[in-house]
Structure 1
Amino acid sequence: MTSLYRLDCTAREIAGRFGARLGDDPWGGGYVARDRFAPVITAGHDFIAGPRPPGGMLQPRIVPRLWGVLPPSGSDDPMRRISTVRNPDSPFWIGNLRNSEFRCIVPATSVMLWCSGIDYEGRRLKHWFAPEDGGIFAIAGVWKDEDIPAFALLTREASGAAKAAGCNAMPLILPSDDRSLQTWLHGGWDAARLLTERPAPIPLIERDMEPD
């Protein structure tokens, strides 16, 4: 799976791409690693979770979130944050996923995946993948209301170039049309879950790149 991705654009460009309110996020572009802050797009509350206003929808907005949520109580490593969602039906995730306030869009321009193969020193090989057009794409995310609000990426079985490179899993990319994105941010879980079961909407190709 991934522990690194790039978002090589500004917060203003992200807002324009997804029709989101800019807010105060100063993001200027770069890479994101686990345990670091990154911009996400949410239609829930900025910080403290709570019900949306009756009869209306909150405008999607860009907010900073920490990548990696705290593990459940009783975890063997209570300080190691969880960065990906492998099983959306897990009791740890399902309550948040059923509540659209906690679903979010994680913008990215490329992702690093650990795939099969090792180098001459026996280290696992990193593979970078991005859309052919180099544009911003949307990864399905979910956040939890902790002392520091944090998010995780949903994943799926690898396909296309990632599967050919020997990757087992990859981030779950959402369709780019406005209706699908609004369904993820506002729709019921039955409708949103259908988006997670479709074939990958954007083919990713392998790129030669390294983080700054």
Structure 2
Amino acid sequence: MCHAYSITTNVEAIRQMVQTIFRFDVAANIGNLTPQTGVYPDMLAPIIRNQPGFRELIKLRWGLPTSSQALYKQAQDRADRIAKKQGRDLTAEEFAELVRMEPDRGTHNVRNTKSAHWKRWLGPEFRCIVPFTSFAEVSSEIGPDGKKLGNTWFAFDDSRPLAFFAGIFAPQWTSVRKTSEGMITTDLFAFLTTNPNNVVAVANPDAMPVILRTPEEIEIWMTAPWEEAQKLQRPLPDGVLQIVSIGNKEDPPEDEEPPPTFAADDDPQPSLF
């Protein structure tokens, strides 16, 4: 699964690309967008989402709600540990509170779209696109130094052009993300995965993100009924993408200059379109 990605462009580059190539305007409710060379689960990151009557560029927290079944199992395991430590079973009221307050760090990739857990968010009103310039899969291959390669970063080429994942978002979800925060209500997002192409399979033989490559695919994803939109949950063709960095927590790595950003009156950052 994709556990990290980077987005090193700026707001104006994203807006110009959307306007000139995708042919729609977007309201930017995001302030400044500093380069994020390492976006990891539960961090804030930009998305473009459908809203009633317009589309919005905004930062949300990465990680959709985990299924209630999985959270119940986590709470049950914790209850068993507490019972063993205290030498008594928890009361029904204590266990119910444990379930209610079970931390949910979120599910950052969505694969099984037939699951009842995800079906509530598959309509166009919950669809979004997630801008990125590179993404990482963890490789367990052993390198020349005898250590696992770790993060293997992929992009369309060394310039790391702007591209988009197919995402979904959940508005105003109430849960405990971190014990230190307690119960919060916030908007969340994640993106779809599918089988890998031959490039990504070198690091992860099981999955890669769903990447939208054309204006037509963007429009289908943002507007079409699920019966049509689900056909986009497919890998990129073999040979598309390349490895741009290995073993680094962020991309571009510190010793490499990030791609240039552009002012409002400049040409937008190169893209794959």
TM over 0.5: yes
The 3 A distance-change label for structure 1 pair 22 and 160 is farther
Give the AA of the match of 1:101: E
Matching residue within 115, 138, 142 for 2:168: 142
Matching residue within 124, 139, 142 for 1:115: 139
Q: Report the Cα offset of residue 61 of structure 1.
A: 2.0
Matches within 5 A, 1:55-74: 58-74=53-69
The 3 A distance-change label for structure 1 pair 100 and 201 is farther
Q: Report the Cα offset of residue 9 of structure 1.
A: 0.3
2:160 counterpart SS class = coil
- How many residues are paired up? 198
Matching residue within 242, 256, 261 for 1:205: 242
Identity, % of aligned positions: 25
1:180 counterpart SS class = helix
Report if aligned partners of 2:210, 2:235 keep a CA contact under 8 Å in 1. no
Matches of 2:205 and 2:151 in 1, distance apart? 10
Partner of 1:103: 127
Question: Highest Rg: 1 or 2?
Answer: 2
TM-score, structure 2 length as denominator? 0.66
Partner of 2:155: 130
2:121 counterpart SS class = helix
Which range moves more in the overlay, 114-123 or 19-28? Answer: 114-123
Partner of 1:16: 16
Give the AA of the match of 1:126: N
1:42 counterpart = 2:68:
no
1:79 counterpart = 2:84:
no
The 3 A distance-change label for structure 1 pair 42 and 66 is same
Matches of 2:148 and 2:203 in 1, distance apart? 16
1:80 counterpart SS class = coil
Report if aligned partners of 1:34, 1:83 keep a CA contact under 8 Å in 2. yes
Matches of 1:90 and 1:124 in 2, distance apart? 33
Partner of 2:5: 5
Q: Report the Cα offset of residue 32 of structure 1.
A: 1.2
2:54 counterpart SS class = coil
Q: What CA RMSD, in Å, does the superposition of the two structures yield over aligned residues? A: 2.2
The 3 A distance-change label for structure 1 pair 150 and 121 is farther
Report if aligned partners of 1:142, 1:153 keep a CA contact under 8 Å in 2. yes
The 3 A distance-change label for structure 1 pair 117 and 202 is closer
Partner of 2:80: none
TM-score, structure 1 length as denominator? 0.84
| Structure with the higher fraction of residues in helix conformation | 2
Report if aligned partners of 2:18, 2:26 keep a CA contact under 8 Å in 1. no
**Structure 2 residue runs without a partner (length 5+):** 20-24, 75-102, 174-184, 255-273
1:28 counterpart = 2:34:
yes
Matches of 1:182 and 1:21 in 2, distance apart? 14
Which range moves more in the overlay, 59-68 or 124-133? Answer: 124-133
1:157 counterpart = 2:195:
yes
Partner of 2:226: 189
